């Protein structure tokens, strides 16, 4: 982390022993360790929060792109439904016009048999 070698640690320990004294050095080292642990914990917490925020940003971007795709598909479906409605209305209008017209006589209609003919072909 700080690139401090063993020789540098010996020098720091010797200076600390001379400045602080042998009675207070162990408690000072413990206090320094406590502060270092707290700093590391705080840095790790900040790092974790930043990573979480970045992850949340990525998820938000994915949600926005998914929402945009959904809107595009919804628009396409709505236009298809509108086309279907208009076609259906045309068919209904055509059928209602067709049913309101009087029936037409055409050659394909079944002709009635002549008056004297009973329809029997038996000569008995």
Domain ranges of the chain: 10-91
Over the stretch 65-77, which tens digit does the pLDDT of each residue have? 999 999 999 999 9
Cα–Cα distances in Å, from 56 out to 42, 68, 69?
A: 21, 18, 20
Query: Do residues 28 and 16 touch, judged by C-beta distance below 8 A?
Result: yes
3-state secondary structure of 116: coil
Alpha carbon distance 72, 62 (integer Å)? 15
Over the stretch 19-62, which tens digit does the pLDDT of each residue have? 988 899 889 989 999 999 999 999 999 999 999 998 998 999 99
Q: Sign of dihedral through CA atoms 50, 51, 56, 58?
A: positive
pTM exceeding 0.85: no
């Amino acid at each position: 982390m700080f690139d401090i070698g063993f020789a540098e640690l010996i020098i720091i320990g010797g200076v600390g022993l001379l400045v602080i004294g042998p009675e207070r050095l162990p408690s000072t080292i413990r206090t320094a360790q406590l502060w270092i642990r707290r700093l590391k914990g705080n840095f790790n917490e900040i790092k974790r929060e930043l990573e979480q925020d970045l992850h949340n940003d990525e998820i938000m971007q994915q949600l926005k792109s998914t929402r945009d795709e959904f809107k595009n598909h919804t628009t396409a479906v709505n236009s298809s439904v509108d086309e279907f409605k208009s076609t259906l209305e045309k068919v209904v209008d055509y059928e209602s016009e067709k049913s309101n017209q009087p029936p037409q006589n055409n050659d394909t209609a079944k002709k009635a048999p002549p008056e004297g003919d009973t329809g029997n072909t038996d000569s008995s």
